[in-house]
Chain A
Amino acid sequence: MTPHGTTLRVPHRAANRRSTAESPWVRRLLIGVALMFLALFLVIPLVSVFAQAFAKGIGFYFQSLADPMAWSAIKLTLIAAGISVPLNCIFGVAAAWTIAKFDFRGKNILLTLIDLPFSVSPVISGMIYVLVFGAQGWFGPWLIDHNIKIIFAVPGIVLATIFVTFPFVARELIPLMQAQGRTEEEAARVLGASGWQTFWRVTLPNIKWGLIYGVILCNARAMGEFGAVSVVSGHIRGQTNTIPLHVEILYNEYNFTGAFAVASLLTFLAVVTLILKTWVECKNAALNALNE
């Protein structure tokens, strides 16, 4: 059934239009209310980010971005996302394979546990690592003895980023692979393919778009995470500041234009994410239509 099935039937029910469709005025009113609401909460904020970023001209904008502190924040953000996204990607594929291709007890509990990081407040997500690796934490004394720094250092930021982006890939792949079933992989095996061959040649092409989708969402969150990273970062300028933390520092120093200039990078990333997401959804819809 198409999502627009109801509109396609308009001629059929034209005789009783009043009862099966809203009058044009109601329709215009509802569209108007919806667009006003979205304009107020989405469009105006989006436009204002760029307006504020360029408030002092294009020169100041690039000057804010070229600042060494901004560069080190960008570098750290890329490192954190560069580690956490691939790790969560491998986990997502493994979890989806085990859940979709096999039957075992406790599967529903496992599914709930995988989703758990989504329901934990960002502040708590950062805090749990302080409790484990912080100076007063479980491994704190041991880490100090061996001169390893996790909290208020880069490893803590990476850990917190992994935690908050933990379910993204798994969540996209599990329902997709469950829906695809096991028959194709079983056929490949029966025809003599090895396990890895089955995965690379049969499974991966099938889940390609879902995987890309999950990675896009995971990356957006990894680069933009604020609360969790804020707890474990220690806010050392030039060392443990990610892009969102750098935005906070500039904003709190009343350098609003600078803050928005750096924030515009993240906003640009968000817009690219939305475009890619829509594009992947279109690809997926086309693929599904082809299969049917």
Chain B
Amino acid sequence: MATRQLGAKKFRVLPGFKLTLGYTLLYLGLIVLIPLAATFIKTSTLTWAQFWSSVASPQALASYRLSFGASFFAALINAIFGLIVAWVLVRYQFWGKRLVDALVDLPFALPTAVAGITLATLYAENGWLGQFFSSTSAWHLTLHLPVIKISYTRLGVFVALTFIGLPFIVRTVQPVLADIDAELEEAAASLGANRWQTFWRVIFPMLTPALLTGFALAFARALGEYGSVVFISSNIPMKTQITPLLIMTKLEEFDYAGATALAVVMLVISFALLLTINVLQWWANRYNTSTLS
């Protein structure tokens, strides 16, 4: 503020502007922008027919369906349970709360390959959790439960993506929920709203931007996820092959043109999601300041 009043926009008190900006742009360019541009330049050397034949092949279409479908449902489950977890962590006191709060970030900290082999083993037919769904368990014989295979099926892909996206919604909703003024709830209550009405009509609308942001973040992360999925999926083309794995397969076959074409599709979708997330965050911030101040 002080610098602006002095009209010091040109004259800068602090040093290092050129150095730090220059270094930032150079490093960004060398590490991120030029290599990313290579993808688009490589794709531009393809003819339209070549491009289309690799991005719209039946195998590619099947992989989009699985990637988008599993990511969507994983983000949806996380939105529901993440909201409950955030609510419980902000509003209630219980034993071990601090530990639970710290544990929520585990999927961020745990390497994806470790998550992959762990979930695959847990949900295998003889695994700790998979046995409850497989025909070999005594439970199934007595209760006539349906037999569900999780590891090495599409359901396994969904489980891995749910794990990966778990922290996003909790961490975006938590601060917003903590900032909601109790007076708003008291006002709603004094005007005759019951608890459910207060939640649904007063609290939930204030959480919507944060929930949507968290959903979009979890969805975007799940779309690109590779490490955890390759272990729990059987990776069969047309059935359990996600798009990043299809790219990997093409790279291993040295089909760089096909791989880059698919990568361009994924990148464009990721950038669109990034833009959506930025707009959502801007909306969330605007919403907060306008209602809370």
Residues of A at the B interface (CB closer than 8 Å) are 1, 3-7, 9, 13, 16, 18-23, 26-27, 30-31, 33-35, 37-38, 40-46, 48-49, 52, 87, 91, 94-95, 97-98, 101-104, 110, 112-117, 119-124, 127-132, 134, 136-138, 159, 162-163, 166, 182-183, 185-186, 189-190, 195, 198-199, 217, 220, 223-227, 230-231, 243-245, 247-248, 251, 256, 259-260, 263, 266-267, 269-271, 273-275, 277-278
Contact = CB atoms under 8 A, between A and B. Distances in A.
Interface in B219-267: 220, 223-227, 231, 244-245, 247-248, 251, 254, 256, 259-260, 263, 266-267
Given A130-B251, A256-B117, A277-B102, 8 more contacts: A21-B195, A27-B92, A35-B88, A44-B129, A95-B20, A97-B20, A122-B112, A260-B117
Secondary structure class of chain B's binding surface, majority of residues: helix
Nearest to A273: B109
Nearest to A35: B100
B27 A91 contact: yes
A45 B122 contact: yes
B78 to A, nearest CB: 9
Nearest to B91: A6
A112 B244 contact: no
Given A49-B118, A247-B113, A119 B220 contact: yes
Contacts of B188: 19
A123 B247 contact: yes
Interface stretch (B31-39, B57-65, B145-153, B204-212): B31-39
A124 B247 contact: yes
Contacts of B46: none
Contacts of B24: 91, 94-95, 98, 110
Interface of B: 2-3, 9, 12-17, 19-21, 23-25, 27-28, 31-36, 38-39, 42, 81, 84-85, 87-94, 98, 100-115, 117-119, 121-122, 128-129, 162-163, 166, 178-182, 185-186, 188-190, 193-195, 198, 220, 223-227, 231, 244-245, 247-248, 251, 254, 256, 259-260, 263, 266-267, 270-271, 273-274, 278
Nearest to B272: A119
- Top 4 A-B pairs, shortest CB-CB distance: A224-B111, A121-B224, A19-B189, A195-B15
B114 A247 contact: yes
B98 A7 contact: no
Contacts of B190: 16
Contacts of B185: 6, 20
A34 B198 contact: no
Nearest to B114: A263
